[in-house]
Amino acid sequence: MTTVDKFLEVAQAEVGTIEEGNNHTKYGKFTKHDGQPWCGSFVMWCASQAGFKSMPNVVWTPGGVAAFQGTGAWSNAETASPKPGDIVFFDFVEGGAAVEHVGIVLKDNLDGTLTTIEGNTSPEKKAKGSQANGGEVAVRIRAYKKTNKRKLTAHVVGFGRPKWSK
């Protein structure tokens, strides 16, 4: 099993995990950011559990974008070809921070959307809840192309591609 496969397996095993209170999770405890929004802590915890020590720090999402850009491992949403294990960055709040949420790509659906696993989001059945601070690990379908076959609003800013070992 490759490292990226293990990373995805670890993330998938966490689907349905709910925070223990207002942003209190084992993921936040792991990154020493418990009580804060934990989408990036989820990504970091999954990487650690998979034995991958080279994940750029995405706990603070703008810092994660800068880290991937700094290593030349960044793709903008409209020009990207996302792959399983890529780290996807979102902007859900118009006029807010440029990037306030992060998740993991499970697959490109080849229609301008992708399937993701995200920590601290609302599951599909509760899609009206906060997408960037929803309190659960969930699988989501997200648009990354503005023109997509599902006619979803695209909130993806771009993707970071970790340097996966074999």
pLDDT tens-digit series, residues 88-145: 999 988 776 689 999 999 999 999 999 999 999 998 876 677 888 889 999 999 999 9
Residue 12 domain flag: yes
Residue 36 domain flag: yes
Domains held by the chain: number? 1
What are the distances in angstroms from CA 38 to CA 78, 121, 144, 153, 161?
26, 9, 22, 23, 20
pLDDT at 75: 96
- The Cα–Cα gap between 101 and 51 comes to 23
Residue 31 domain flag: yes
Residue 166 domain flag: no
- The Cα–Cα gap between 105 and 57 comes to 17
pTM of the predicted structure, to 2 decimals: 0.95
Residue 147 domain flag: yes
Residue 165 domain flag: no
Residue 50 domain flag: yes
**108 class by beta-carbon count within 10 Å (0-12 exposed, 13-18 middle, 19+ buried):** middle
Mean pLDDT in the chain? 94
**Which residue range forms the structural domain that includes residue 124?**
3-160
- The Cα–Cα gap between 104 and 106 comes to 6
Residue 23 domain flag: yes
Q: In this structure, what CATH number is given to the domain that contains residue 48?
A: 3.90.1720
